[in-house]
Structure 1
Amino acid sequence: MTARRLIVEADGGSRGNPGPAGYGAVVRDGDTGRIIAEAAEYLGRATNNVAEYRGLIAGLRAAHAIDPAAGVEVRMDSKLVVEQMSGRWKIKHPDMQPLAAEARTVFPPGQVGYSWIPRERNKDADRLANEAMDAGQAGRPWQPRGEPSAHPVASAAAVDEPAPALVLQAPAPQAGWAAAGDQVVATTLVLLRHGETALTPQKRFSGSTGSDPQLSEKGRWQAERAAEALAARGTVEAVVSSPMLRTRQTAEAAAVRLGLPVRIEEGLRELDFGAWEGLTFAEVQERHPEDLDAWLASTRARPTGSSESFAALSQRVGAARDRILARYAGQTVLVVSHVSPIKTLARLALGAPPDAVYRMELSAASLCAVQYYSDGNASLRLFNDTGHLR
């Protein structure tokens, strides 16, 4: 059988270079040219090149979510990214190296090709990047305008079918959180950490630029137990997942039980651990002691060779949270993610200081829950629940 052909068009921009930045990406059917997925995100302060690489990664992940066996042609108007990813130019800048490495992990070698196109032929991706920057600078989440994807696993920007009626209305907030008579809408995010991988029991760093391991046998068992518990509660109306393989496998186990599709949200991916990927804490302490000390002392410090600090992760995860809340207002949503994003969501809900993430324990396949109210308040309802695994 001939592999499906997909076309990814990606772009990124920065207003100031560095300055307020964002990316846009579309995935087209290779035969018809029809856009079947879109992705866009405001990145905060970044350079043009970082934004372009982030757009490439988002486009590749959206294509992978549609068909991981597809042949992919990437079209970009960035000569730099095309030549570097094609292997003809060396990648010398330290900010670009981990991003290029991350892009290469999405599909197996030989499955992706790169072509340069003039800017006027990259208008859709450019439009999305500018929409994301406009939205971010206005303090609101980017909202898609495209047609829905026909595939059950869509990119962060694909448009949903109309949601089913609310099965169980979330309880109202405590008295005093809104003025008398106000109509307050509650949206619940049930946060599920993925099941174990081979790296989990060894406590090795496993972020967004490493080997992207799959669930182990125990991890698959954990995912099934979590799925059973969620199905028994009967309140989940949508499933959203990080693009990493381990989270998608965990989300799919629940989605099958719940009879729901899985939506991919790029902003839920794990932190980029750079050169620490695959290492234990002791190994990092031995090889990169000064970087590790700095990282533990400040959420603005980055792991060795990483493109991202906890402060940057917080901005990314907060934007992803806002997109989910805007799309699923008043509903209960299963969000499958990783240690760092889930800890960050819990910290933000509590209004705790940034370094609180260093003082939280989160087990594999554990459940947390945060309820968000339309008056701007949030309530952490559950944290690190593993009762379903006993």
Structure 2
Amino acid sequence: MREFIVEADGGSRGNPGPAGYGSVVLDAATGETLIETYEYLGVVSNNVAEYRGLLAGLRAAHDLDPSASVHVRMDSKLVVEQMSGRWKIKHPDMKPLALAAGRVFPPGQVTYEWIPREQNKHADRLANEAMDSRASASSVRKPSAADGKLSSEEGKLSAAGGELSSAEGKLSAAGGELPSAGGKPSSADGKESAAEADVRAAKVVASPGWAPADMGAPATFVLLRHGETPLTPQKRFSGSGGTDPSLSDIGREQARRAAEALAQRGTIQHILASPLTRTRETAAAVAERLGIEVTVEDGLIETDFGAWEGLTFGEVRERYPDDLTTWLSDPEAEPTGGGESFAATATRIAATRDRLVAAYAGRTVLLVTHVTPIKTFVRLALGAPPESLFRMELSAASMSVVAYYADGNASVRLLNDTSHLRP
């Protein structure tokens, strides 16, 4: 049986923005490049581009030998984890993409591996080539027999291999469709739908070097942790699955001081809050001072800590020592009783982040949320590993700021500022 390696990547300059993918099929035994394919997709998100790259690579490998075993290597954690079956695909518009990829080869013939971006340079180069050239169709290139170099465009993927079928490739009526192989956005105005904007890769990789000067104003998120509740000074787990406590008297005073500081700042244009009581109460204090309405955003909710809700760290360590040890070392581990893992939280926050960045480009938005979401926003912006969550201090009613630019870069401007809480 032949063995292939498929390396695939996708990118979007703006996320959503001009996007493309690149895929390469290698002979696993010799390392020889068998097929290269890339395509400009129009205006779509990173996640869509990455899935399209995966599909193109798998279908190119299938055209070479449908009986071969295939090992996929990608730097998209989301795609790898979803296709490996370790992460659930909760969003209905992601399921057709994963389903299409899963149908190319029979079950068991394809394995997946996440690799760092620096190990995926071949596919990354092809994706950037597609975005630079805005090629209107997938280009398949093989090494030239004459000189061993890659020849120029030798052919195009067939309709079966180069694009999603109508049954698989269409997104819901709430958003547009995936672009056809011609690379044009399916919606009339070329903008990404709300449905497409809600699905992103959990990992954003910043482009190297200085950003151009004409990117325009970034989407700036001021991240405000809610004020104290009765559980806060006791350092008890308080997530989305607990008693949903209200602010304490101290917490209400902290919210008032935060509101005053934000009024002096004078740049907040919108306020979004997690649906839990403590965040809505904190947001209400700011909204009253600023005269801005609060929008509840479910994606900002705190992690569900399962059976650990309401317990101190010491109590959890005493009652669930093995589960706690695993949770501290594995971002995919869930708290006892079916809570939410850090990996699942990161996927949720990444999707929320990208949807809000698209919706509030060039504006300053106050996000009133919780410890884990705020730390996750910062971690993803820095490209830091999951264990960095345990190395950040985040006080009640503290403020952090992250700015997101049109090229996909992020800048952490502030972390855990509590100066407004001092007498």
- Same structural fold, with TM-score higher than 0.5 when normalized by the shorter chain: yes
How far apart are the structure 1 equivalents of 2:263 and 2:332?
39
Q: Report the counterpart of residue 336 of structure 1 in structure 2.
A: 368
Question: 1:372 maps to which residue?
Answer: 404
Match of 1:244 among 260, 276, 297: 276
Percentage of pairs with the same residue = 56
SS at match of 1:335: strand
Which position in structure 2 is the counterpart of 1:259?
Answer: 291
Q: Counterpart of 2:54? A: none
**Displacement after TM superposition at 1:45 (Å):** 11
* Partner SS for 1:20: coil
Alpha-carbon shift at residue 323 of structure 1 (Å)? 1.5
Partner of 1:351: 383
Q: Distance in 2 between matches of 1:295 and 1:255?
A: 37
**Structure 2 unmatched runs, 5+:** 1-81, 99-169, 179-184, 186-190, 199-207
Q: For residues 403 and 339 of structure 2, what CA distance do their matches in structure 1 show?
A: 31
Q: Which amino acid aligns with 2:91?
A: G
Matched ranges for 1:65-80 at <5 A? none
For 2:408 and 2:259, the matched residues in 1 are separated by: 30
Shift of 1:141: 7.6
Q: Displacement, 1:185?
A: 3.2
The one of 271, 276, 279 equivalent to 2:308 is 276
Measured against aligned partners, the alpha-carbon deviations of 1:338-387 in whole angstroms (never above 9, x if no partner) come to: 00000000111111111111111100000000111111111111100000
Partner of 2:262: 230
How far the C-alpha of 1:186 sits from its partner, in A, is 1.1
Task: In structure 2, give the amino acid aligned to 1:242.
Answer: S
Contact 1:241/1:335, CA 8 A, preserved across alignment: yes
1:143 corresponds, among 191, 194, 199, to: 194
Q: Distance in 2 between matches of 1:130 and 1:307?
A: 32
Aligned to 1:318: 350
Q: Contact 1:198–1:216 at 8 Å: present in 2 too?
A: yes
5 Å-filtered alignment, 1:28-43, equals none
User: Which amino acid in structure 1 is aligned with residue 233 of structure 2?
Assistant: P
**Would you say the 8 A contact 1:184–1:375 is kept in 2?**
no
Q: Is residue 15–residue 21 contact of structure 1 (8 Å, CA) maintained in 2? A: no
Q: How is 1:44-55 mapped onto 2 (pairs within 5 angstroms)? A: none
1:53-92 → structure 2 map (5 Å cutoff): none
Please name the residue that 2:142 is paired with.
none
1:183 deviates by: 3.3
Counterpart CA distance in 1 for 2:284 and 2:177 is 34
Q: Distance in 2 between matches of 1:316 and 1:239?
A: 19
Residues 19 and 44, structure 1, Cα contact 8 Å, conserved in 2: no
Aligned position for 1:206: 238
TM-score, structure 1 length as denominator?
Answer: 0.58
Aligned to 1:114: none
In the aligned structure 2, how far is the partner of 1:132 from the partner of 1:42?
Answer: 12
Larger Rg: 2
Change (3 A) 1:21 1:134: farther
- Secondary structure of 2:400's aligned partner: strand
Provide the aligned C-alpha RMSD in A: 3.4
Q: Which amino acid aligns with 1:231?
A: A
CA deviation map 1:159-212 (0-9, x unaligned): xxxxxxxxxxxxxxxx95334x63333111000000000100000000001000
Aligned AA (2:194): Q
1:188 aligns with 2:220: yes
Size of the aligned set, in residue pairs, is 249
Q: How does 1:91-240 map to 2 (within 5 A)?
A: 131=174, 143=194, 176-179=209-212, 182-240=214-272
Give the secondary-structure state (helix, strand or coil) at the position aligned to 1:21.
coil
Paired residue for 1:383?
Answer: 415
CA contact (8 A) 1:187 1:330 kept: yes
Give the unaligned 5+ runs of structure 1.
1-13, 24-40, 47-126, 146-155, 157-174
Whether contact under 8 Å (1:177, 1:377) holds in the other structure is no
Cα distance change, pair 364–311 in 1 and its aligned pair in 2 (3 A) = same
The residue that corresponds to 2:18 in the other structure is none
Label 1:198 to 1:128 Cα distance change in 2 as closer, same or farther (>3 A): farther
Quick one: structure 1 residues 142 and 317, their matched pair in 2 at CA, closer, same or farther if it must change by over 3 Å? farther
User: 1:347–1:356: 8 Å Cα contact kept in structure 2?
Assistant: yes
Conserved? CA contact 2:174–2:195, under 8 Å: no
Q: 1:186-240 CA distances to partner (integer Å, 9 max, x unpaired)?
A: 1110000000001000000000010000001100000000000000111100001
Contact 2:216 2:362 (8 Å CA) reproduced: no
Q: Which residue of 2 aligns with 1:302?
A: 334
What's the offset of the Cα at 1:142?
Answer: 5.5
Give the C-alpha shift of residue 277 in structure 1: 0.3
Match in the other structure for 2:49: none
Q: Which amino acid aligns with 2:376?
A: T
Deviations 1:88-113 (A, max 9, x none): xxxxxxxxxxxxxxxxxxxxxxxxxx
Asked if the contact 1:367–1:383 (Cα under 8 Å) also holds between the matched residues in 2, the reply is yes
